[in-house]
Structure 1
Amino acid sequence: MVQGLKNRDEAALQALMEQYGDYLLRTAFLLLKDLQAAEEAVQDTFITAFRKIEQLREEEQLKSWLTRIAINRCRMRQRTWGWRNLLPFARMEEIPTDEHHPDTELQVMLEWRNERLSDAVHRLDYIYREVITLYYYNELSIREIATHTATNENTVKARLTRGRLQLRKLLVKEEVLKL
């Protein structure tokens, strides 16, 4: 696939999009809180990857390289002023999952819990939302997160700790308000 991209083969680009599209969209959505912005960030990621495929040094690092590009695109979108400052955030769209539970009540409870958790993650500051997303949703190691975000491993650990504490406070506060 990488060789096809280097030869500017559009079929290789299509295969790349099919293989990594959902993964990158889920990551971008969790980071940006907006499906349209996430889709644009992923589209920018694929365009950048296609244009700069020559910069990829090791083919087995393709997923990692794409993740780093997507994170940078999300950061750029966070920095820019745009429609998100004019319109209130839309309700979070459901993130597609492959899970299927035959028990309807269990399914409803899982969706409710995941919705609460996703809402709480979206209320975190971007730096905490970024590491929480990469660690828990993308299952990257602390070392990989440090590499992708160009930060120190200790910084990643500190952000994870602070992000978890903020999440706990948000969820506990929500429970207290319901009582």
Structure 2
Amino acid sequence: MEMNSAELEHVMDTYGEHLLKMAYFYLRDREMAKDIVREVFISFYEKSNYQEQGKLRAYLTKLTVNRCKDYLRSWTFRHLKLNKERLEIIHTEHDRLILKEEQSAIATAILALPIKYREIILFYYYEELNMREIATFLDLSENTVKTRMTKARTLLRGKLSNDYWEVLSIE
């Protein structure tokens, strides 16, 4: 089945806002969310062999979530969020250098985690999602998310010194 531009426009009008909200909630970056949704529609149009009319929203949502996951896997943690107390004591150039070193060590440790643990840490600590929200996004049970969080914390504690562990406020 060949899709024409009018049909694509209808699909974009119908599902575009939903997909944009989903991508933004996942990424917390409006411009990147727009780019992801554009890529999803381009990919959908180029393949245009989708047949199941009733499940189009679920199909496009899954494509969007997968694109977001791909983006997050490649993200380099340029801006790690630190606890507020830590940010308040950064006054000197020396403090800034130490902060940069801490961010690098934390990012390296997180990037070294297997993806199933890394995404849990990312969503919980950096995107501030709760366990239920993470479970919904990743299509997992809440207990699986909790188990992976425990394992991720254990792995991170093994990779980070106590000083870096405290910076993250993970306890």
TM-score by length of 1: 0.51
Contact 1:42 1:70 survives alignment (8 Å): no
Which one of the candidate residues 76, 80, 95 is aligned to 2:78? 95
Residue 6 of structure 1 pairs with residue 13 of structure 2: yes
Q: 1:161 matched to which residue of 2? A: 150
Unaligned runs of 5+ in 2: 1-11, 45-55, 165-171
1:13-162 alignment, distance < 5 Å: 20=24, 23-24=28-29, 43-48=35-40, 55=57, 71-73=65-67, 75=69, 95-96=78-79, 101-162=90-151
How far apart are 1:147 and its partner, in Å?
0.2
- Residue by residue over 1:18-62, the C-alpha shift from the partner in whole angstroms, topping out at 9 and shown as x without a partner, is xx497349xxxxxxxxxxxxx7x98334432797xx839xxxxxx
Contact 2:76 2:107 survives alignment (8 Å): no
How far apart are 1:123 and its partner, in Å?
0.3
Partner amino acid for 2:100?
E
Percent identical pairs in the alignment equals: 27
Partner amino acid for 2:104?
E
| Structure 1 residue ranges, 4+ long, deviating more than 4 angstroms after superposition | 68-71, 74-78, 96-102
| Cα separation, 2, equivalents of 1:169 and 1:72 | 30
How far apart are 1:106 and its partner, in Å?
1.9
**Structure 2 CA distance for partners of 1:152 and 1:127, relative to 1, 3 Å:** same
Q: 1:32 matched to which residue of 2? A: none
Which moved further from structure 2: 102-111 or 115-124?
102-111
| Cα separation, 2, equivalents of 1:98 and 1:124 | 18
Unaligned runs of 5+ in 1: 26-38, 57-64, 79-88
RMSD of the alignment, in Å?
4.6
Q: 2:6 matched to which residue of 1? A: none
How far apart are 1:117 and its partner, in Å?
0.5
Higher radius of gyration, 1 or 2: 2
- Residue by residue over 1:55-75, the C-alpha shift from the partner in whole angstroms, topping out at 9 and shown as x without a partner, is 39xxxxxxxx98x76542255
Contact 2:80 2:103 survives alignment (8 Å): no
Contact 1:128 1:160 survives alignment (8 Å): yes
TM-score by length of 2: 0.53
| Cα separation, 2, equivalents of 1:160 and 1:171 | 16
